[in-house]
Amino acid sequence: MNTPLLILIAGPYRSGTGGDPDLIAANLARLEQAAAPIHRLGHVPMIGEWVALPILRGMGPEETAEGDVMYETAHRLLQHCDAVLRLPGDSTGADKDVEIALERGLPVYRTIDEIPTLADR
């Protein structure tokens, strides 16, 4: 492999938080912990919330529900991704990301160790 992959990091964000902002932030931090190792392997890490949260901040409450924006953004983003890293934990959204990836024939990794190193670095 000599071309970097765009790898979506999928895992719990709001799941299991009861809407608690501190627990949501902790989930985002867990997602982000996978970003540097993916970068070190020569690839480009992506987290759907990095894209969706600014969209949500720019929308009024009457435009759409938060979950709709999160899911729709992830679906659109997956059209550009080359693979998914599915982190542990219950998450309907992350499970849907995996389903879409598999439908598209994309690899789904369950650990960082499964991700190939970019040969041309």
What span, in angstroms and rounded, lies between the C-alpha atoms of 24 and 13?
Answer: 6
Q: Is residue 116's pLDDT more than 60? A: yes
Confidence of residue 30 (pLDDT cuts 50, 70, 90): very high
Query: For the chain, what are the domain ranges?
Result: 6-114
What span, in angstroms and rounded, lies between the C-alpha atoms of 29 and 23?
Answer: 10
Strand order in the sheet with 44-46: 44-46, 6-10, 83-86, 108-109
Chain segment 59-91, per-residue pLDDT in tens: 877 776 655 888 888 889 999 999 999 999 999
**Range 43-50 average pLDDT:** 95
CA distances from 59 to 91, 93, 116 (A): 24, 21, 38
| Paired strand residues for 83 | 7
What span, in angstroms and rounded, lies between the C-alpha atoms of 2 and 87?
Answer: 25
| Paired strand residues for 85 | 9, 109
Model pTM score: 0.90
Q: The domain 6-114: what is its CATH number?
A: 3.40.50
CA distances from 24 to 8, 30, 63, 70, 73 (A): 18, 10, 23, 14, 18
What span, in angstroms and rounded, lies between the C-alpha atoms of 38 and 48?
Answer: 15
